[in-house]
């Protein structure tokens, strides 16, 4: 039985060289590629997410861990079905107009990618029109909106309203997240769901696309 804890710890420490060495060891030991990703790499990143939440880790460390995780994933990718990760659906993600925070959004995007979703990350300060355009161009199934400022939360509502105005609301699931966001706010603005952290966002997207 392969010991995933060493790999997870290397991710938590943001040690890219260790992550790559341990991923290669797992590959040589013929460990299931998805187990390497889910139990080793994402397992470590989930701990990072929890620690980040309680201020036990900070943005620079989280980014180092995310980079280390990505380096590990690049090694595993060629072993997955047909060399490409299966696309379980396209997620358009971005931080709403007026908001420039992107750490949480980037983490969600990376973890969705690791879980087999195609992610189109539009970046920060994105207007409703830009989100709509990206959904149309990429056949997006899920729209993931992020906001960290209470002042920009209403941009989420404007984006959902724009989806309705364009007659696209039934075809796209909208999820929202960010520090000031709650399930209650999600219900108020008519989103399909709220996720409190990156791991929850992946579960939510999978659940919405399965339903």
- Which residues partner with 6 through β-bridges? none
Q: What is the reported pTM? A: 0.71
CATH for 90-210, options being 3.50.50.60, 3.40.50.11540, 3.40.50.280, 3.30.2310.20: 3.40.50.280
pLDDT tens, residue by residue, 39-53? 899 889 888 878 887
Sheet holding 193-194, edge to edge: 118-121, 90-95, 142-146, 173-177, 193-194
SS3 letters across 149-188:
CHHHHHHHHHHHHHHHHCCCCCCCEEEEECCCCCHHHHHH
User: Residue 208: CB partners within 8 Å, gap ≥ 6?
Assistant: 142, 173, 175, 192, 193
| 7-65 confidence digits (pLDDT tens) | 999 999 999 999 999 999 999 999 988 889 888 998 898 888 788 878 898 878 888 99
Fold of 4-83: 1.10.1240
Domain range list for the chain: 4-83, 90-210
Q: Is 190 helix (H, G, I), strand (E, B) or coil?
A: coil
């Amino acid at each position: 039985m392969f010991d995933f804890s060493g790999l997870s710890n290397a991710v938590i420490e943001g040690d890219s060289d260790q992550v790559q060495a341990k991923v290669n060891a797992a590959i040589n030991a013929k460990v299931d590629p998805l187990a390497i990703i889910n139990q080793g790499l994402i397992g470590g990143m989930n701990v990072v997410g929890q620690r980040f939440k309680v201020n036990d880790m900070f943005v620079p460390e989280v980014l180092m861990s995310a980079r280390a995780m990505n380096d590990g994933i690049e090694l595993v990718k060629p072993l997955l079905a047909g060399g490409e990760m299966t696309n379980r659906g396209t997620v358009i993600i971005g931080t709403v107009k007026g908001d420039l925070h992107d750490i949480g959004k980037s983490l969600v995007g990376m973890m969705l990618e690791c879980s087999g979703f195609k992610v189109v990350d539009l970046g920060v300060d994105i207007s409703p029109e830009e989100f709509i355009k990206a959904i149309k161009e990429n056949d997006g199934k899920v729209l993931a909106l992020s906001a960290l400022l209470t002042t920009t939360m209403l941009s989420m509502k404007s984006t959902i309203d724009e989806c309705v105005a364009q007659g696209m609301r039934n075809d796209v699931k909208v999820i929202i997240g960010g520090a000031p966001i709650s399930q209650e706010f999600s219900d108020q603005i008519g989103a399909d769901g709220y996720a409190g952290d990156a791991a929850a966002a992946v579960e939510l997207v999978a659940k919405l696309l399965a339903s």
